[in-house]
């Protein structure tokens, strides 16, 4: 019987919107120079731990794609198969897209702000009809059913769109013994962790995913995580950066 492979989850390197403290959602933004360094450093960490990806999965957003490319260049594995899917896109933040988190917190108050950001079911107002029409016409999404392109999402909504990709694609590859790398976004990684670890609502609220920090999952034969929550390859750095994520918009 083949021993299940290893899953590595990675939030992309710092983006320009991350650096500016803005809600990004499905807005396409580039990496900062620091974000490019984070992606390359993630590749070095994978090499140090002997985790050479056999297959890679990204969203269809530039910051995810660029991070994966830089990581694979560092590993000299640009030739491995890469699959891109909208299901791994960042959470759709609706009317908050592009807005500064600090300003949103000041307007909405800390309780509602943290409910929108961290809870399982909270979600702000949706995109306008005009914005949604433009998004649905984007070539990346034009072939999807219109209702597959959301106007706004909660983390529960995200988990519902990520779960089939885990069950149908990622799990199947892991069962072949492959090392599978997912380079996605803070909330798509949170959604995957919610599925893998069966997180409670309180655990979801407290889960913060730092940029550029590889998170390793190993599995038993039934694809249950051997370590609930996985293991960061650089735990000290990941803990410090997760604290910064939790505090976004608070100061």
Q: If you count them, how many residues does the chain have?
A: 251
DSSP helix/strand/coil, 49: coil
H helices present in 52-181, as ranges: 62-75, 101-108, 110-118, 129-137, 155-165, 171-174
Pairing outcome for strands 82-84 and 55-58: parallel
3-state secondary structure at position 55: strand
Express each pLDDT in 95-113 by its tens digit.
999 999 999 999 999 999 9
Q: In the predicted model, is pLDDT for residue 195 greater than 90?
A: yes
Q: Where are the domains of the chain?
A: 7-246
Q: How confident is the model at residue 58 (pLDDT cuts 50, 70, 90)?
A: very high
Inter-CA distances, 42 with 69, 71, 73, 131, 194, Å: 12, 6, 11, 35, 23
Q: Which of 90, 115, 153, 185 is catalytic?
A: 90
Q: What is the pLDDT of residue 2?
A: 83
Segment 226-241 mean pLDDT: 97
Is 115 annotated as catalytic?
Answer: no
Shortest CA distance to 234 belongs to which of 216, 207, 218, 247? 216
| Contact of 186 with 18, CB cutoff 8 Å | no
pLDDT computed for residue 151 by the predictor:
97
pLDDT for residue 157 is more than 90: yes
Burial (0-12, 13-18, 19+ Cβ within 10 Å), 102: middle
Cα 212 versus chain centre, distance? 11
Give the pLDDT score at 111: 96
Across the range 143-168, mean pLDDT stands at 95
Per-residue pLDDT, averaged over 142-165, amounts to 95
Task: Say what the pLDDT of residue 25 is.
Answer: 96
Handedness of CA 112, 113, 115, 120 (dihedral sign): positive
249 has pLDDT over 90: no
Using one digit for the tens of pLDDT, what is the confidence trace for 1-25?
689 999 999 999 999 999 999 999 9
Q: 199 is written with which tokens?
A: 């997180």
Q: What is the distance between the alpha carbons of residues 141 and 220, in angstroms, rounded to a whole number?
A: 36
| pLDDT for residue 147 | 87
Is 36 part of the annotated catalytic residue set?
A: no
The CATH architecture one would assign to domain 7-246 is: 3-Layer(aba) Sandwich (3.40)
Burial class from Cβ neighbours inside 10 Å (0-12, 13-18, 19+) for residue 130 reads exposed
**Rounded mean pLDDT of 160-183?**
98
Euclidean distance between CA atoms 33 and 126, whole angstroms: 32
pLDDT value, residue 103: 97
**For residue 146, what pLDDT is reported?**
84
The structure tokens 């790398």 sit at 181
Residues 6+ apart with CB under 8 A from 206: 118
Give this prediction's pTM: 0.97
Task: Provide the pLDDT for residue 235.
Answer: 97
Whether the predicted pLDDT of 251 surpasses 90: no
Distances (CA, A) of 219 to 86, 195, 238: 26, 14, 22
Beta bridge partners of 31: 15
């Amino acid at each position: 019987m083949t021993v299940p492979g290893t899953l590595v989850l990675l939030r992309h390197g710092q983006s320009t919107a991350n650096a500016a403290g803005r809600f990004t959602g499905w807005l396409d933004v580039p990496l900062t120079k620091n974000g490019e360094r984070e992606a390359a450093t993630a590749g070095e960490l994978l090499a140090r731990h002997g985790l050479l990806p056999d297959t890679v999965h990204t969203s269809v957003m530039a910051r995810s794609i660029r991070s994966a490319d830089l990581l694979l260049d560092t590993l000299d594995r640009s030739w491995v198969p890469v699959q891109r899917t909208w299901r791994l896109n960042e959470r759709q933040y609706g009317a908050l897209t592009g807005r500064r988190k600090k300003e949103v917190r000041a307007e909405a108050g800390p309780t509602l702000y943290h409910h929108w950001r961290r809870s399982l079911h909270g979600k702000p107002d949706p995109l306008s009809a005009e914005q949604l029409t433009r998004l649905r016409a984007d070539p990346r999404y034009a072939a999807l059913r219109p209702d597959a392109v959301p106007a706004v999402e909660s983390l529960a909504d995200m988990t519902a769109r990520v779960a089939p990709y885990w069950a149908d694609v990622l799990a199947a590859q892991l069962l072949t013994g492959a090392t599978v790398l997912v380079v996605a976004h803070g909330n798509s990684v949170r959604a995957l962790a919610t599925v893998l670890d069966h997180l409670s609502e309180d655990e979801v609220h407290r889960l913060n995913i730092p940029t550029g920090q590889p998170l390793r999952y190993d599995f038993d034969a039934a694809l249950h995580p051997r370590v609930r929550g996985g293991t960061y390859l650089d735990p000290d750095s990941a803990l410090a950066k997760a604290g910064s994520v939790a505090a976004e918009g608070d100061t």
